[in-house]
Amino acid sequence: MPSLKDLKNRISSVKSTRKITKAMQMVAAAKLRRAQESAEAARPYTERFNAVLGQLAASVGSSDSAPLLLKGTGKDDVQLLVVMTSERGLCGGFNSSIVKLARTRIEALKLQGKTVKILTVGKKGREQLRRDYGDMMIGHVDMSEIKKVGYANAAAIAKDLLGRFDAGEFDVATIFYAQFQSVISQTPTAQQIIPASFDAPEEAGASTVYDYEPSEEAILADLLPRGVATQLFAALLENAASEQGARMSAMDNATRNAGDMIDKLSIEYNRTRQAVITSELIEIISGAEAL
């Protein structure tokens, strides 16, 4: 049975843990709001961009002169997986769920005899993947210095990817990130970005006839690389929001668990205290009787 002093120490240490998790939860809540705002701000651009790109892709897509970024290299032998995770831990299952999805994909691709290459964004994903797939890693993007994800960060990653694509290092690129649903649910998602894949445009693009200046092909060739950056940027923002959401609910759980633990320890403390008093009384009484 632990002594009274031990119990007291444990209660105070759990209390200070609770203070920390509570503070982390509140910080995550504030950051989440900011992350959601920037994701919100980016939405109009992404939507319009994809609408125009989808329309262009539909009209040029089938021709032989279509850019490689759109129609692909015609092979899918070398697969590049871009695994986007967070720089910091303590955010519940956020990183593991993304890594798990990536792992499943890697194993499936390996069974099909494809070559797999991995590019990690964010430290946590790299740490988890390095042990099993260290030899497949071709690069890592460090985001630890970046406080707020900007378009420039996405553009830099896109430039790296496009450089590798032009050099023929891979045929297909897929990004892995968590889509933000709500504070308690983030869905790990895999999305193919090279060659570009689009959802069919909802409204028939043929209803308005557009003039293109310069030609459709030239615009498409200009827009596709930007499309990669835009998609990466959207994924980074979603990921940032998801990370904070996951951290918020993880810390909320931790705070609640700490509270439960304090209650339990307090009851034990009180019981022990009573037992000590009782045994002291018995000692005094039996001492008095002996006289």
Catalytic machinery residues: 91
Instruction: Give CA–CA dist 291/287, Å, rounded.
Output: 7
Q: Looking at 224, 233, 240, 258, which residue binds another protein (CB under 8 A)?
A: 233
Between 51 and 78, CB nearer to another protein? 51
* Contact between 46 and 142 (Cβ < 8 Å): no
Between 42 and 251, CB nearer to another protein? 42
The backbone torsions φ and ψ at residue 137, rounded to the nearest 5 degrees and listed phi first, read -75, 130
Q: Residue count at the site for another protein (CB under 8 A)? A: 28
The answer to whether the peptide bond before residue 214 is cis (omega within 30 degrees of 0) is yes
Q: CB of residue 65 vs another protein: minimum separation in angstroms? A: 18
Name the one residue in this structure whose structure tokens are 């983030």. Answer: 186
Between 83 and 154, CB nearer to another protein? 154
Pairing status of strand 137-141 against strand 115-121: parallel
Q: At what angle do helices 216-290 and 4-60 cross, to 10 degrees?
A: 170
Between 2 and 163, CB nearer to another protein? 163
Q: Which residue in 27, 46, 44, 47 sits closest to 35, CA to CA?
A: 27
Q: CB of residue 44 vs another protein: minimum separation in angstroms? A: 5
Binding mask 8-47 for another protein (x = CB under 8 A): ------------------------------x--xx-xxx-
Binding site for another protein (CB under 8 A): 38, 41-42, 44-46, 48-49, 52, 56, 150-151, 154, 208-214, 218-219, 222-223, 226, 229-230, 233
